[in-house]
Amino acid sequence: MEVGFLGLGIMGKAMSMNLLKNGFKVTVWNRTLSKCDELVAHGASVGETPAEVVKKCNITIAILSDPAAALSVVFDKDGVLDQIGSGKGYIDMSTVDPETSCKISEAIALKGGHFLEAPVSGSKQPAETGQLVILAAGDKALHEEAVPAFDVLGKKPFFLGPVGNGAKMKLVINMIMGSVMNAFSEGLILAERSRLNPHSLLEVLDLGGIANPMFRGKGPEMLKDNYSPAFPLKHQQKDMRLALALGDQNAVSMPVAAAANEAFKKARSMGLGDLDFSAVFETVKLLKHSS
């Protein structure tokens, strides 16, 4: 099976590498073409433009940083729309708002192509190990055709119905994750200020009803001030903003998420946007030092 892949950031690089290791033929593109070099060394081909990738492959996957990037790859000169058509499918695995997914879907349908949105739950390590959760919506036939690739990329694909539902589900998940990370950060500082050992807190949490992989994986690194990016903070803040907009559309009061968004914005203003989203911990530490 030959697959195109657009976008070789933290997630895209790991995902396309997994496809290669599992016997897929992969043609890759990235705005900075030098990022393709490692994948080429593992057998990938390179397309000079998104259009060139789509022309070569019946299924093209993209995972891009934000709605603007997702739209640019489709609508700009030499973009996806230049070559999409009958018999070709486009799968956007970026985290975007439902309106962006719908706009892309409508444009591809007008050209005779097939569209699936499929944002993923999971960050760098699940991408590397093929343990993502895939939140697909849109063209059911394309979903079935893509299952062999999804089985390599993730531990479970969900088909959620019409275009927009995948984007909504991903935004809800990331809103919860970002809000919990803020509460977790406050808890670590509260333990320390209360003269408790924060490492003991991590052990207790891991034995209780709210034990989870995020606390287990991020907590020890946060206490060491290690924020090597698995999921960049700037993307988490973008997702909080989009989730709050979804809340506005549905008249859902979200004060906890709104407060968490402000903390991520503060972290971005501190120059932490390219670090892991757990670096929001630094905003709580800053409040501690200023008190």
Domain locations along the chain = 2-161, 168-286
The answer to whether the CB of 55 falls within 8 A of the CB of 44 is no
What's residue 233's pLDDT?
98
pTM of the model: 0.94
pLDDT tens digits for 243-266? 999 999 999 999 999 999 999 999
Residue 12 CA to residue 149 CA, distance in Å, equals: 13
Superfamily holding 168-286: N-(1-d-carboxylethyl)-l-norvaline Dehydrogenase; domain 2 (1.10.1040.10)
User: Encoding tokens for residue 168?
Assistant: 């909504």
Determine how many CB atoms are found less than 10 A away from the CB of residue 103: 18
Q: Would the pLDDT of 283 be above 60?
A: yes
What's the burial of 1, exposed, middle or buried (CB within 10 Å: 0-12/13-18/19+)? middle
- For 25, half-sphere exposure in the C-beta direction (CA atoms, 13 angstrom radius) is 9
Looking at residues 175-195, what average pLDDT do you find?
Answer: 97
Which segment of 33-37, 177-181, 187-191 scores lowest on mean pLDDT? 33-37
Angle between the N-to-C axes of helices 67-75 and 98-110, in degrees from 0 to 180, rounded to the nearest 10: 10
Q: Which residues belong to the active site?
A: 170
- Where does 2-161 sit in CATH, by number? 3.40.50.720
Q: What percentage of the chain has pLDDT greater than the value 70?
A: 99
pLDDT tens for 91-149 read 999 999 999 999 999 999 999 999 999 999 999 999 999 999 999 999 999 999 999 99
- 34: Cβ–Cβ under 8 A, 6 or more apart, which residues? none
Token pair 């390599």 is found at 152
Q: Which residues contact 168 (CB under 8 A, 6 or more apart)?
A: 98, 246
